[in-house]
A = this chain, B = another copy of it.
Amino acid sequence: MGLPDDYRAMARIRRFEERLTALKDAGEIPGSIHLCNGQEAIPVGAARTLRDGDYVTATYRGHGWALARGVDMAGLFAEMMGRDSAVNGGRAASPYLSDPGRWFVGENSIVGAGVPIATGAALTAQRTGSGAVSVVSIGDGAMNQGNVHEALNMAAVLDLPLVLVVENNVYSEMSRIEDMVRVRQLAERAAGYGIPGRVVDGNDPDAVAEAVGEAVTRAREGSGPSIVEAMTERLVGHYSGDAQHYRPAGEVAAAREREPLARIRAAADADLAARLDVIDAEVAAEVEAAIAAARAVPYPDPATVKEYVYV
């Protein structure tokens, strides 16, 4: 994979979420949505290091992971529109998506709860000798939930093939990381579990791929879990409708200079810029086609509402 591929992968996520926001504003998305605008380099960089069969677990802010791992875009739109999508039949919506077909163990709406679950996917990989790894993404704030602590220690002691990616966007909803922890970097906690921890620039897909790649290799070799802390910034609110009055003036504007797509654009010569324009246009077309396809999906049949509780 090279730069144009990364750009395309990130642009797809960005465009997807921009259009999602517009659809939300237009009343086409009933539930709450949490965007990863600005954080796209993390799922894209990480996904580069993964194979089919590797598991990914994310949070409610997981659209990027779903797309980067190949979950069908039209299906995602349809799911979030409350339609009978092939993804989760309208039962999950934006914050609790999953797709076994793409080994996407799924999002989770309970902070940190995905980490123990991802540990279980890693257990399966280890016990069946499949060679798969289990990658799980959480936010900086989630590092203070007990579930994450328990899962990390357990993965460490069982040598499970788990990679924890902490997307540190320095906010837990509306609270700053300084009010949440007394450490400079959350990766410092790795030592307490006896596992490696690294901090990387989360706005650079290459840096992410390098660090996650190292952790994935380690995990595949049976050497156990790692933590990769990817530093990034949210370009938007915590959720759709968040006015962000808690963010200092200029913070978002400054972040817009550093975000992964802007960075590539800023460094691009005329030739590359022209290629990126083409990609943008292709991505825009892909996204519009996905929306159109999603709109053709019917709403779920209320008569099926009691299905799927039990086998």
Q: Which A residues have a C-beta under 8 Å from some C-beta of B?
A: 144-147, 149-150, 153-154, 156-157, 179-183, 188-189, 191-195, 224
Contact = CB atoms under 8 A, between A and B. Distances in A.
| Number of identical protomers | 2
Given A156-B181, A182-B193, A183-B194, 18 more contacts: A144-B149, A144-B150, A144-B153, A145-B146, A146-B150, A149-B149, A149-B150, A153-B180, A153-B181, A153-B182, A181-B193, A181-B194, A182-B194, A183-B191, A188-B192, A191-B191, A191-B192, A192-B192
A147 B156 CA distance: 19
Contacts of A194: 181-183
A150 B145 contact: yes
A191 B187 CA distance: 11
Contacts of A224: 182
| Residue in A153, A188, A194 with the greatest tally of chain B CB atoms within 10 Å | A153
Shortest 4 CB-CB distances between A and B: which pairs? Answer: A146-B146, A182-B194, A189-B192, A149-B149
Nearest to A188: B192
A141 to B, nearest CB: 11
A145 B152 CA distance: 11
Contacts of A149: 144, 146, 149-150
A165 to B, nearest CB: 17
Nearest to A146: B146
B188 A191 contact: yes
A193 B183 CA distance: 6
A17 B224 CA distance: 43
A191 to B, nearest CB: 6
A160 B156 CA distance: 30
Given A146-B149, A147-B146, A150-B145, A183 B179 contact: no
Contact of A192 (B145, B146, B150, B183): B183
A294 B252 CA distance: 68
Nearest to A197: B192
B192 A180 contact: no
Nearest to A159: B182
Contacts of A189: 189, 192
A183 B145 CA distance: 20
